[in-house]
Chains A and B, each alone.
Chain A
Amino acid sequence: MLDVSHVTAGYGRTMIVRDVSLAIQPGEIVAIIGRNGVGKTTLMKAIIGLLPLVQGTISLAGAAITAAPANDRAQRGIGYVPQGRGIFPGLTVEENLEMGTLINARVGGERRHDVAFQYFPHLAERRRQRAGTLSGGEQAMLAIGRVLIGRPTLMLLDEPSEGLQPNLVQQIGDDIKRINAELGTTVLFVEQNIELVMNLSQRGYVIDKGQVSATLSVAEVTNQDALIRHLTV
Chain B
Amino acid sequence: MAGGGGGGGPLLVLDDVSKRFGGLLAVSHLTLTVRRGELRCLIGPNGAGKSTVFKLIMGFERPSGGAITFDGTSIDRWPTWRRARQGLSIKMQIPGIYPELSVAANMRVAAQYHVRGGQMEEAIGRLLARVGLAGLGHVLTKNLSHGEQQWLEIGMALSVNPKLLLLDEPTAGMGPGETGATAQLIESLNADGVTILVIEHDMTFVRQIARTVTVMHLGQVFAEGTIAEIEAHPGVTDIYLGKT
Contact surface of A with B, Cβ cutoff 8 Å: 10, 12-16, 35-37, 132-133, 159, 161-163, 166, 169, 192-196, 209-210, 228, 231-233
User: Do B146 and A161 touch (CB < 8 A)?
Assistant: no
- Per-residue CB proximity of B213-244 to A under 8 Å, as 1/0? 00000000000000000110000110011111
Q: Which chain A residues lie closer than 8 Å to B242 at the CB level? A: 161, 166, 169, 192-196
| CB nearest to B93 among chain A residues | A37
Residues 142 to 170 of chain B near chain A (Cβ within 8 Å): 142, 144-146, 169
| CB nearest to A210 among chain B residues | B173
Partner of A193, one of B175, B201, B241: B241
Stretch binding the partner chain, chosen from B41-49, B126-134, B187-195: B41-49
| CB nearest to A38 among chain B residues | B201
Q: Tell yes or no: B22 within 8 A of A by CB.
A: yes
User: Do B241 and A228 touch (CB < 8 A)?
Assistant: yes
Contact surface of B with A, Cβ cutoff 8 Å: 22-23, 43, 45-47, 142, 144-146, 169, 172-173, 175-176, 201-203, 206, 230-231, 236-237, 240-244
Q: How near does chain B come to A162, taking the closest CB pair, in angstroms? A: 6
**In whole angstroms, how far apart are the Cα atoms of A227 and B47 in the complex?**
22
**In whole angstroms, how far apart are the Cα atoms of A161 and B144 in the complex?**
37
- Give 17 CB contacts A-B under 8 Å: A10-B173, A14-B146, A14-B173, A35-B202, A35-B203, A132-B23, A162-B46, A166-B243, A192-B242, A193-B241, A193-B242, A209-B176, A228-B237, A231-B240, A232-B240, A233-B230, A233-B237
**In whole angstroms, how far apart are the Cα atoms of A195 and B43 in the complex?**
21
| CB nearest to B236 among chain A residues | A233
Q: How near does chain B come to A171, taking the closest CB pair, in angstroms? A: 14
| CB nearest to A224 among chain B residues | B241
Asked, given contacts A195-B243, A231-B241, A233-B236, whether A162 binds B47 with beta carbons under 8 Å apart, the answer is yes
Which among A15, A37, A192 has the greatest number of chain B C-beta atoms within 10 A?
A37
User: Do A16 and B173 touch (CB < 8 A)?
Assistant: yes
Q: How many A-B residue pairs have CB under 8 A?
A: 66
User: Do A233 and B231 touch (CB < 8 A)?
Assistant: yes
User: Do B176 and A37 touch (CB < 8 A)?
Assistant: no
**In whole angstroms, how far apart are the Cα atoms of A141 and B146 in the complex?**
37
**In whole angstroms, how far apart are the Cα atoms of A16 and B243 in the complex?**
28
Q: Which chain B residues lie closer than 8 Å to A15 at the CB level? A: 146, 173
Chain B contact surface mostly: loop
User: Do B43 and A233 touch (CB < 8 A)?
Assistant: yes
**In whole angstroms, how far apart are the Cα atoms of A233 and B232 in the complex?**
10
**In whole angstroms, how far apart are the Cα atoms of A196 and B242 in the complex?**
9
Q: Which chain B residues lie closer than 8 Å to A37 at the CB level? A: 169, 172, 201-202
| CB nearest to B173 among chain A residues | A14
| CB nearest to A198 among chain B residues | B241
| CB nearest to B241 among chain A residues | A194
User: Do A194 and B243 touch (CB < 8 A)?
Assistant: yes
Asked, given contacts A36-B201, A37-B169, whether A192 binds B176 with beta carbons under 8 Å apart, the answer is no
Q: Which chain A residues lie closer than 8 Å to B144 at the CB level? A: 13
Give 9 new A-B contacts, CB below 8 A, not counting A12-B146, A166-B244, A192-B45: A13-B142, A13-B146, A35-B201, A192-B240, A194-B243, A209-B176, A232-B240, A233-B43, A233-B203
**In whole angstroms, how far apart are the Cα atoms of A233 and B231 in the complex?**
7
**In whole angstroms, how far apart are the Cα atoms of A233 and B203 in the complex?**
6
User: Do A36 and B45 touch (CB < 8 A)?
Assistant: yes
**In whole angstroms, how far apart are the Cα atoms of A169 and B239 in the complex?**
13
| CB nearest to B171 among chain A residues | A37
Q: How near does chain B come to A197, taking the closest CB pair, in angstroms? A: 9
User: Do B240 and A233 touch (CB < 8 A)?
Assistant: yes
**In whole angstroms, how far apart are the Cα atoms of A32 and B20 in the complex?**
32
**In whole angstroms, how far apart are the Cα atoms of A192 and B47 in the complex?**
13
Closest 10 CB pairs of A and B: A193-B242, A36-B201, A194-B241, A14-B146, A37-B201, A233-B203, A14-B173, A232-B240, A161-B242, A37-B172
**In whole angstroms, how far apart are the Cα atoms of A149 and B46 in the complex?**
29
Q: How near does chain A come to B234, taking the closest CB pair, in angstroms? A: 11
Which among A13, A36, A159, A163 has the greatest number of chain B C-beta atoms within 10 A?
A36
Q: How near does chain B come to A62, taking the closest CB pair, in angstroms? A: 33
Partner of B22, one of A14, A132, A193: A132
Q: Which chain B residues lie closer than 8 Å to A232 at the CB level? A: 237, 240-241
**In whole angstroms, how far apart are the Cα atoms of A210 and B171 in the complex?**
13
